[in-house]
Amino acid sequence: MLQQLGFELLTAKAFFLLLGGGIGVTLVYFLHFYNVWPFGNDVEPATADQLRHIPLLRFDGSNNVERYMNETRSLLRQGYEKYLRQGIPFQIRHPVGELGSQVLLPTKYLEEVKKAPTDLFSFEAYSAKSFLLDYSRAPRQTEAAAHVIRVDLNRNLGPLVTDLWNEAAQHLSENVSFEWKTVSAYELVCRFVARVASVALVGAPLCRNPAWQQIVVETTFVAFGAAQAIKDKYTPRWRWLAPWSESIQKDLRRIRKQSIDLLRPLYKERREAMSNTDSFRDPSEVYRDVVFWLMKSNQKDRSLYGITESQLFLSLTAIHTTSGTLNSFVYDWIAHPEYHDDILLEVTETLAKVQANNGQWTLQHVAMMRKLDSFMKESARLNPIGFVSTQRYTLKPYTFKDGLHLPAGTTIMFHSDGAHYDADNYPDPDKFDGYRFLRLRETVDPNRFHYASVSDSALGFGAGIHACPGRFLSAIAMKFFLINFMTQYEFKYEHGGTERLPNLYNDNTSRPAPTVNLLYPDKPFMAINKRYRFVIYPTSSWDELKRVPEQTASIMNFQHVCNSGDWSLIGGETHELVKTITAELTRSLPARVLNRQQDAKMTFDTIIGHCTEEKGFNLLMTSLEIIAKINACTFVGRELGRNQRWVKAVIYSPLFVYMAVTLLNATPGILRSILRPLYFLPVTKNYWDMKRLLKPKLDDEIKTFKETKDKRKLLVPKSDEDLPFTQFLLARYTEAAATIKQLVTDYIQVSYTSTPTTASALYHALWELAQHPEAADILRQELKEVMVDGQLPRTHLQELKRMDSFLRESFRLHPITRFTLQRYVKEPFQLSDGSTVPPGVMAVVDAQEINRSPELWKNPDKFDMDRFYRLRELSGNDNRYHFVTTSSNSPGWGDGLQACPGRFFATSTLKIVIAHVVMNYDIRLRKVAPLKSSPLVNGSYAPDNSVEILFKSRSAK
User: What does the alpha-carbon distance between residue 620 and residue 691 come to, in Å, rounded to a whole number?
Assistant: 26
Integer Cα distance of 357 and 181 in angstroms: 37
Contact 113/103 with Cβ under 8 angstroms? no
**What's the rounded Cα separation, in Å, for the pair 699 and 738?**
11
Q: How far apart are CA 403 and CA 88, in angstroms?
A: 12
> Does an H or E element contain 910, and which?
helix 903-920
Residue pair 554/563 in contact (Cβ under 8 Å)? The answer is no
Coil vs helix vs strand at 435: coil
How many CB atoms sit inside 10 A of residue 633's CB?
25
486 Cβ neighbours under 8 A, 6+ residues apart: 333, 340, 343, 344, 347
Residues listed for the chain: 957
**562 labeled part of a ligand binding site:** no
Q: How far apart are the first and last CA of the chain?
A: 53
CB contact at 8 A, 638 and 722: yes
Question: Which DSSP letter does residue 281 get?
Answer: S
- Rounded to whole angstroms, the maximal C-alpha distance in the chain is 118
Closest-CA residue to 330 (of 66, 514, 159): 514
* CA dist., res. 935 & res. 754, Å (int): 20
From the list 535, 498, 531, 493, the residue with the least C-alpha distance to 514 is 493
Integer Cα distance of 118 and 500 in angstroms: 40
Handedness of CA 861, 864, 867, 870 (dihedral sign): negative
* Rounded CA separation 654/662 (Å): 12
Other C-beta atoms lying within 10 Å of the C-beta of residue 940: 20
* Residue 145 backbone phi and psi in degrees, to 5: -65, -40
Find out whether 27 and 462 touch, Cβ atoms under 8 Å: yes
For the chain, the C-alpha Rg in angstroms (whole number) is 35
**What are 522-525's contacts with CB under 8 Å, separation 24+?**
522/490, 523/488, 523/833, 523/835, 524/835, 525/176, 525/488, 525/489
C-alpha–C-alpha distance, residues 703 and 705, integer Å: 5
DSSP letter for 537, please: E
- Residues near 831 by beta carbon (within 8 Å), at least 6 away in sequence: 537, 541, 544, 545, 837
Q: 381 near 426, Cβ under 8 Å?
A: yes
Integer angstrom CA distances of residue 925 from 33, 257, 604, 758, 772? 66, 47, 18, 20, 11
The strand ranges marked E within 107-185 are 121-122, 182-184
54 contacts 106 by C-beta, under 8 angstroms: no
Cα 137 from Cα 149, distance rounded (Å): 23
- Please give the backbone phi and psi of residue 692, each rounded to the nearest 5 degrees, phi first: -60, -40
* Sign of the CA dihedral with 307 first, then 313, 317, and 318 last: positive
For 505, the enclosing helix (H) or strand (E) is: strand 504-506
Alpha-carbon gap, residue 449 to 376, rounded angstroms: 11
Partner residues linked to 526 by β-bridges: 535
Classify residue 15 as exposed, middle or buried by CB count within 10 Å of its CB (0-12, 13-18, 19+).
buried
Q: Is 147 helix (H, G, I), strand (E, B) or coil?
A: helix
Binding site for heme: residue ranges? Answer: 900
Binding site: residue ranges? Answer: 900
